[in-house]
Amino acid sequence: MTSQAAPLTTGPVKVVGTGLLGTSIALGLRTAGVAVQLSDASPSALALARDLGAGEPEGPDSAEPALVVVATPPDVAGDVVLDALRRHPDAVVTDVASVKAVIAAEVTAAADGAQRARYVGSHPMAGRERSGAAAADADLFAGRPWVIAADDAAAPATTAAVRAVALDLGALPVTLAPQEHDDAVAVVSHVPQLAASLVAARLVDAPEGALSLAGQGLRDVTRIAASDPRLWAAILVGNAGPVAAELRLLREDLDGLITGLESAAAEGPLAPGSVGALSRVMTAGNTGVDRIPGKHGGAPRRYATVQVLVPDEPGELGRLFGEVGHIGVNIEDLTLEHSAGARVGIAHLAVVPSSAATLEHELTNRGWRVVAE
């Protein structure tokens, strides 16, 4: 994931804030062969990052950094960026906070033009339930989008320097204006996060018998609701405007669903308007899902799914995928489905439609029980 040859990044790079993101960036840059200086308000956090091999603590003898990466909590990122721009008059400065417009505004308000030209915000889209340097990983960003929140105030050389870091860490640079970024994460990340929590919150008072009927759909919808509330409260408050705007639109659709269902409950399925809102929202949902890009960022594509019953015994899954490998069909995506109490799982293998028949045939010949999608 990290670059094999010479790094694209010009060092030394100073990383301010040695939590999960800062330490992971430092580790990745070190792996790529870039000199890294570390800075953190907490001596113990700093020592842990150093001991993990993330770099050397910044000291009086440290060389002047060519790039400063601010990886502090979002609420102080703006001030730390401004401090870095003043202390390192030749360095490019970026931050990796999950919200971009507010910080860009803070920097623009307090920096002179030359300083502002050396700053561009960024946001590596690397989700993680855990936090702290102990959870850091040089490969955290491999294959993940990394937003460069470029605007007219940032010099092209500034944007190029941050882009180089993303590439050295194996990430996929995506250029969006700060507000575009904030609006985007509201719809693709923050609203889904809250929706998962809203659905999971309905389970708190549900009877045991109801939970015993839980299927894969419920598990998928609520999986990210297990995330850290404190972490997310900070992220969401930092993007409060765009998230509230999206939630208001969602509530309009929800009100339509409730009204339709209430009329159906009161007057029966033939009540006027009882089905209209349901059909409209679910049809829009079909359209929305189709817009989510598939692999390689290409146009969304429909894969054929081959479902295979897998006995719940050690090695059975290995045997299945070993044979899929022999068959030579590439699995584009997969999920393993367990129902409560099941002694078998159902592996959902997504393949290009042209390969589905072959895979079904070959697996059946090898004694696997293939069930229709």
Rule CB under 8 A: which of 10-69 touch its own copies? Answer: none
20-31 vs 156-168: helix axis angle to the nearest 10?
A: 80
Nearest to 28 by CA among 15, 43, 45, 42: 15
* 310/315 Cα distance (integer angstroms): 10
- 325 near its own copies (CB under 8 A): yes
Peptide bond into 12 cis (omega under 30): yes
* 163-202 footprint of its own copies as x/- string (CB under 8 A): ---------x-x-x---x--xxx-xxx-xxxxxxxxxxxx
Could you tell me if 40 and 66 are in contact, meaning their C-beta atoms sit under 8 angstroms apart? Answer: no
Q: Which of residues 67-126 bind its own copies (CB under 8 A)?
A: 75, 125
DSSP string, 326-355: HHTPPP-EEEEE--TT-SEEEEEEEE-HHH
Distance from the Cα of residue 276 to its chain's centroid? 34
Residue 323 binding its own copies, by CB under 8 A:
yes
A 10 A CB-CB count for 312 gives: 11
Cβ 186 to its own copies shortest distance, Å: 9
**Cβ 372 to its own copies shortest distance, Å:** 5
DSSP code per residue over 13-58: EEEE--SHHHHHHHHHHHHTT--EEEE-S-HHHHHHHHHTTS-EEP
Indicate the residue among 47 and 234 with the shorter CB distance to its own copies. 234
Q: Closer CB to its own copies, residue 160 or residue 188?
A: 188
285 binds its own copies (CB under 8 A): yes
Least Cβ distance, residue 57 to its own copies (angstroms):
23
Closer to its own copies at the Cβ: 88 or 247? Answer: 247
Contact between 220 and its own copies per CB under 8 A: yes
- Minimum CB separation of residue 52 from its own copies in Å reads 11
Q: Is 4 in the site for its own copies (CB under 8 A)?
A: no
Q: Which of 65-73, 83-91, 320-328, 357-365 is the region at the interface with its own copies (rule: CB under 8 A)?
A: 320-328
Nearer to its own copies, 98 or 115 (CB): 98
Q: What angle do CA 363, 289, 189 make, to 5 degrees?
A: 110
Q: How far is the CB of 92 from its own copies (least distance, A)?
A: 23
- Phi/psi of residue 185, each to 5°? -70, -25
